[in-house]
Structure 1
Amino acid sequence: MTDKELTPAEEAAARAKEQQEQDALPYKWTQTIADVDLTTVVPGNLKGRDLVVDIKKTALSVGIKGQEPIVKGDLFQAVLLDDSTWTLTSNPDGTKTIEVHLDKVNKMEWWPHVVTTAPKLDVTRIQPETSKLSDLDGATRGMVEKMMFDQQQKEKGLPTSDEQKKIDILKKFQEQHPEMDFSNAKIG
């Protein structure tokens, strides 16, 4: 496949084909940049003990005991086992839903599919939800705020936070050593 832009008709056809492939799967799935949630509906008379849900670091199997698995295969990427779970919930129509939550190890990558045998989604078209700085953990938030500040400084033609640190260190050194000539000093 080439990197050419698709016409609107080709784009619509590609999306329709992708949606048809996803609708044909025996499960539904959604994702954020950090996790994947998979659901599948099963008969309402089933209990947890009637199910086989096996979440491994790089593989997943979900099904009913004694039957072919509904989902089985290698995961697209590794998951954090301690933070990945499954539940069985009742639906108003008398059926039940198996809900599988997979916590991604790599929280910077969209998955084109849950298991590698399933049809792929074009992840380049994913429109991530906008997040607020307050949603981020402290270290990530600090890094993002620094990047935003540095970008604003560059746009104004002013020094970035790292460049400003170097300037401040040089000024302090100059004040401590007035006998030295700093006229040819370069900060870089």
Structure 2
Amino acid sequence: MSTQDSDDYDKLSPAEREIRDKADRQREADEQAALPYSWKQSLEDVDIVVPVPKGTRARDLVVVIAKKKLSIGLKGKDPIMAGDLCQDVKIEESTWTLEDQSSVELHIEKVNKMQWWENVLTHHPKIDTKKIQPENSKLSDLDGETRGMVEKMMFDNQQKQLGKPTSDEIKKQEALRKFQLAHPELDFSNAKIS
């Protein structure tokens, strides 16, 4: 969503936002359904399923998983999917298997385990990562401190995408406001806050 779209969105009523969100979700679902694969993710990893012709054997496949590139296809044919990955992956912890001689299933470990992916390959349609709802069971399985850290990271990531201050920046601004109120005799007009 561009800054212009974001500004327009902020001006919408709740009912209008719901209509736009529904339309965006449908457009996104249609774009993802048109891809030659399906995928899902957690903060730690990405799982991809690529349909192949029934009866395909592992030796018929060409699968390349590199730190920043991915290619899957049949020998002697154009790849089913190929391109630059949107983020780096851990090659040594990423695997693929052929299931029922009809699909290639990839499990890719993310290098950055604190960021949602907008897409798998950079040239494919993006999803709106601000709308991702992590599975409650997984979030609730975390201990209190870890859960708080994950929720803070999710909040900060959403704030950054919206061009708004992160939780740490909000705390700094609040501390400065309190200090200014406690010390009205000081001039803060030329203060630089970082």
Which range is displaced more, 125-134 or 74-83?
125-134
Where 2:92 maps in the other structure, the secondary structure is helix
Cα distance in 2 between the residues matched to 1:67 and 1:19: 28
Find the counterpart in structure 1 of residue 130 from structure 2: 124
Q: TM-score, normalised by structure 2?
A: 0.65
Q: Give, as a single letter, the amino acid of the residue that structure 2 aligns with 1:101.
A: H
Q: In structure 2, what is the Cα distance between the partners aligned to 1:82 and 1:29?
A: 20
Q: Give the one of 1, 24, 29 matched to 1:19.
A: 29
1:32 pairs, out of 42, 47, 65, with 42
* CA spacing shift, 1:10–1:64, aligned 2, 3 Å: same
The offset of 1:143, in angstroms, is 5.1
- Aligned-pair Cα RMSD in Å: 2.1
Task: Kindly tell me the number of residue pairs found equivalent between the two proteins.
Answer: 138
Q: Equivalent of 1:113, from 116, 119, 132?
A: 119
Match of 1:57 among 41, 51, 67: 67
- Structure 1 residue ranges, 4+ long, deviating more than 3 angstroms after superposition: 132-135
1:77 corresponds in structure 2 to 87
* Other-structure match for 2:102: 96
Larger of the two Rg values belongs to structure: 1
Q: TM-score, normalised by structure 1?
A: 0.67
Q: SS in structure 2 opposite 1:101? A: strand
Contact 2:139–2:147 at 8 Å: present in 1 too? no
Shift in CA distance, 145/84, structure 1 to aligned 2, threshold 3 Å: closer
Task: Give the helix-richer structure, 1 or 2.
Answer: 2
